[in-house]
Amino acid sequence: MSLRAARLADRSAVEDVCRGVWEGHDYLPSVFDRWLADPQSVFQVGELDGQVVAVHRLRPIAPGLVFYEGLRVAAAQRRRGIARAMLLSALESARDQGFAEMRLVTAGDHLAAPLLESNGFELICTTQVWTASALEGGDLPRLVSEDYAAALWPTLAADPALAAYRGINPDWQAVLDLDVTLLRRLAGGGLLRQSGPPWAIAILHEPVEDRLSVTFAAGSDAALEELLTGLRYEADARNLKSVTLVAPLNHPNAESVRGVGYHLADDSWSMRAYRLKL
């Protein structure tokens, strides 16, 4: 198998490779153009006998840290070592570029787990998705300023929820360590919400389809219940249908999440974040 840079003419071939992933709802075809236009990433296809049979992408997300995403192998070509060859090539490329660590996320059936673990990847955190429908008419949660985010950090650092998340923000597009710098950056981007006192905060991702997406939540039970309810109001105000919250199963406020109308989206669905020192 040979690897080369993806190009516009590969669109239909990549769509064929992705067909059947997540029951036909793979996100990769919808981001193909954006990935192709990103000069900071390495977006490649794998070929056998001139036919595209695999695809993957490497993207820097922090100094020394690279994110691996979009590994797909055509259904007819699986169990031939292609996924392993793609991963090993990505690891070699990341090392050649001087990265110190690679991170990635798997979702759903986690068929890639044996491949990752046999190549030294460490599981950081396993999360599941809670969901609740939008609600009309209530008070929206408050935005967090950068200065308040910095002042809040010492309290958040000691909160049991951060330990349950294993110190990361499990954003499926960039698994980053949650620290005061990231918290300030998220606040500056309008992605932090708060309630209280007593305090609670939530980290948002850009909406996914018709859902308000929350990747992290922490704080006291009463304040978190207020905040999670407020996010349901915010979803309605933004003409979205629901809120999704990514949280570990051992989240210390799980009963509060359930108590304000959130439920597990699918008991069999989970997201796993991995890392490997290069």
User: 154 and 95 in one domain?
Assistant: no
What pLDDT does 169 receive? 97
Count, in order, helices (H) and strands (E) of the chain: 9, 15
Q: What is the pLDDT of residue 14?
A: 96
CB atoms within 10 A of CB 168: 20
Q: 238-247, pLDDT tens digit by residue?
A: 999 999 999 9
pLDDT value of position 267: 62
pLDDT digits (tens, 9 = 90+) for 172-223: 999 999 999 999 999 999 999 999 888 999 999 988 789 999 999 999 999 9
Band of pLDDT at residue 266, cut at 50, 70 and 90: confident
Q: Do 87 and 171 belong together in one domain?
A: no
**Is residue 256's pLDDT more than 80?**
yes
Residues 58 and 142 in one domain: no
Q: What is the rounded average pLDDT of the residues 75-103?
A: 95
Q: Do 89 and 137 belong to one domain? A: no
Q: Can you give the residue range of the structural domain that contains 145?
A: 128-272
Task: State whether 162 and 253 are in the same domain.
Answer: yes
Percent of the chain with pLDDT over 90: 86
Residue 263: the pLDDT is 94
Domain annotation covers residue 57: yes
The pLDDT value given to residue 25 = 81
- CATH no. for residue 179? 3.40.630.30
Give yes or no: residues 172 and 264 share one domain.
yes
Cβ within 8 Å of residue 183, ≥6 positions away: 149, 150, 152, 153, 156, 192
Q: Is the pLDDT of residue 153 over 80?
A: yes
Tell me: do 191 and 259 sit in the same domain.
Answer: yes
SS3 assignment for 6-52: CCHHHHHHHHHHHCCHHHHCCCHHHHHHHHHHCCCCEEEEEEECCEE
Mean pLDDT, rounded, of the chain: 94
Cβ neighbors of 68 (< 8 A, separation 6 or more) are: 56, 57, 58, 87, 90, 94, 102, 103, 104
Domains: count for the chain: 2
Read off the pLDDT of each residue in 5-20 and give the average, rounded to a whole number.
94
The span from the CA of 240 to the CA of 258, in Å, is: 20
Specify the amino acid at residue 153.
W
